Amino acid sequence: TAYEKAVVDANDAKNFYLLVEVYDNLTNLYFDLRDFNSTKKYAMMAIEGARKHGQISILANSFNVLSNVYKLEGDYRNAYEYATLFKVYSDSSSNEQTRKEILSLESKYEFEKNRQEIAQLTITNLKRQAEINRSYFTISIGAVIGIILLAILFYFFSRYKHKALLAEKETKLKEEKIV
């Protein structure tokens, strides 16, 4: 069957997690077929592997199936023992799932918080850059105005000097004409 091939493939690949999953599926299959000897065999193999690899949900399922098998066979002592183990491991599995969900939500919350913080920092940096650009613009305008004022002053000073020289030359010429 496909499950037997899956067992061989999982063993060859040394994928023991997959192997335990296959044993769990075989447990459920043989239970549905009411082949209780095979159900017990694969349930015990699933339990052994699940304990080694910490697969709590598979432990819970295997204990539940074994409890049902023993109940149907009339072995109520074993049915009770496996029902008790099922309860313990299903609670653990549920707690583990809840813990994973909480960690997932916490991770999503932290991611969103960091994303918003990055967005806020980006906005702050853009505002600062705009302020810096305004400052550079103001300084540039001030420098241009200063240069223009210096040019105007230089122009008027040069004209004044030029007029003063002309006036001095005229005065010398008038003095020479008088003398």
CB 76 within 8 A of CB 70: yes
Q: What is the pLDDT along the chain (179 residues), one digit of tens a residue?
A: 777 778 777 777 877 878 788 889 889 999 999 999 999 999 999 999 888 888 888 899 999 999 999 999 999 998 998 988 888 887 665 566 655 665 676 777 688 888 899 999 999 999 999 999 999 999 999 999 999 999 999 999 999 999 888 888 888 888 887 76
C-alpha triplet 29, 34, 40: angle, nearest 5°: 70
CB atoms within 10 A of CB 30: 21
C-alpha triplet 169, 171, 174: angle, nearest 5°: 110
CB atoms within 10 A of CB 29: 15
pTM, 2 dp: 0.52
Amino acid at position 150, single letter: L
